[in-house]
Structure 1
Amino acid sequence: MSSPEVLLGKSLPELTEWITQQGQPAYRGKQLYQWLYEKGATSLADITVFPQKWRQNQENTIIGRSSIYHYSTAPDRTRKYLLKLADGLIIEAVGIPTHKRLTVCVSSQVGCIMGCDFCATGKGGFTRNLKTHEIIDQILTVQNDFGERVSNVVFMGMGEPLLNLPEVIPAIKSINEDIGIGQRSITISTVGLPQKILELAHHQLQITFAVSLHASNQHIREKLIPSANHYPLSQLLAECREYVKITGRRVTFEYILLAGVNDLPQHAKELVQHLRGFQTHVNLIPYNPISEVDYQRPSQERVNDFLNRLKQENIAVSVRYSRGLEADAACGQLRATVDR
């Protein structure tokens, strides 16, 4: 028995070709395209411009949408969604609204294999990669639920995007071309994997590229990120420099500040030495507590001191205060807590 045809993720020409193969006129390809990406159809039954009899005969065709299993909303309106996939697995997505934009934090895998010590997602293990349509679906789900267009997408949810590039790259292109979100409004975040950064670079995307650095030296990085044992900090930074040369775009370094672990003056000094003369931006992220580990959030005074030490050395830097803490939706808190 053949696998069901999944429509989400197909381009306008692909949908037009498919619809004509089903005996429908070519103009219905554009109708199908609009219902998928603009109107957010979740099944063929929703597409009322198509003949009812024809829709009933398309039993082996699915749109490829998930269902909302649960959601929670923080006081700042950040909303975390638990989405149930066709095989019953649960993933997470987050809608982050401001007065100017709506950002969606998407997952690229079910779980995560990287096992970063400070991150809740990695504590649940890894199940599988997401398919292209399962990534695109997250944006459409949030867009439909908020009733407004998504302006930004960040691959900072469950999973390591560079371990799923065969599905992530087509998803990015569809998000750009079909949903209409500019590539420069799309961010991929990675902990860094040998050769994978260069593989991404050669796709010549105009995305924002963020590396979860989180440490100023190899010793601390190995403690926080198990994969760093096989990927020296010097090699990671060398490949990031090569990424800048290939793409002409800077690298953003994410740096979670953990009290007493990586937020001391000597750590700021080490970080400056690594990044001086490098086309980068540093995002400092005060740690968001999770129950599984006992890391602490640094004081505001410590955060400001670290920030100012980088600024004094002309390192482009900002502090990202996470949204959605009350909904367990912030950075490092993405986890299916409902079934606990």
Structure 2
Amino acid sequence: MSTPPLALTMGDPAGIGGELTLAAWARLRTSGPAFLALDDPARLSALAARLGWDVPVTPVSGPEEAAAVFTDRLPVMTVRLPAPSVPGTPDPVNAPAVLGSIERAVALAQAGQVGGVVTNPISKATLYRTGFAFPGHTEFLGALTGTAEPPVMLLASPMLRVVPVTIHVSLRRALDTLTTAEIVRTGLALHRGLREGYGIESPRIAVAGLNPHAGEEGAMGDEEPRLVVPAIEALRAQGVDAFGPLPPDTMFTARARAGYDAALCLYHDQALIPIKTLDMDGGVNVTLGLPIVRTSPDHGTAFGIAGQGIADPGSLVAALRLAADMAARRFPKAAA
């Protein structure tokens, strides 16, 4: 394990993040990538004992110690919970620990001590009750890292990669705020992300239409000729292999997907419905436009099954592996 370990955040302690962390360590302990959890070690130890899982948990002082012990024990940098967590029952009292875990992980990544950040699912509704001012992880990470422009959310699996131009807003607001400039900005971020994170030299980007049949030449809406086509032309003028707009109801078939490396979609569900339908367990959320690597599972807290040991760790494992691969490409000297 020559690359620095990854930092894995707590997520909502009432959700499935803890058991996913335990299961991911059991699956990756011999092969890597190595990671350290930023969590409450007492919580994880108690959870492993309750589930009957043989996962020894050990507190560590930092990433170097974590890398040294990873094959034998799950390393944890301690983030204490103010109150005991109850599976399935989120408690706003623990919000400072949830956010503190993310903040410490980002600080480690910015200092070059870890290869990247992988985040367990949070409950945005619970955080909102404590005054959390960001729509979600993506925007919070942008603020923590001081990005000049809003980060871009890429959802990726072996079957499909998608990016929504508008993210955590209502559909009405997404339609009202969609602009040619924002489509271009997001398309450029996607182009750079595919080159830097995936090593695709000339990414092919399929751009979705907004309306049924991509507007049917204006018969079902004018957004395509007014907003989308000018954005595609601007992207192509900057050297991006972008094409479309494509009818959203056919662009995600197996035959269509073979013709592009990623789909640029115009609103949240247009992007997330196809990828979650195709590969819910293998999907990974990647944040583009940050100075650090960040990935996460492509699912939520799953409060309804938390604490039962039945949550599938596949998406978290995929997120950890992808983060390690992206870190090696973006920071080759650290991986040498």
TM-score over 0.5 for the pair: no
Smaller-chain TM-score bracket: under 0.3
Higher relative contact order (CA 8 A, sep 6+): 2
Structure number with greater Rg is 1
Report which of the two has the higher share of helix.
2
TM-score scaled by structure 2? 0.27
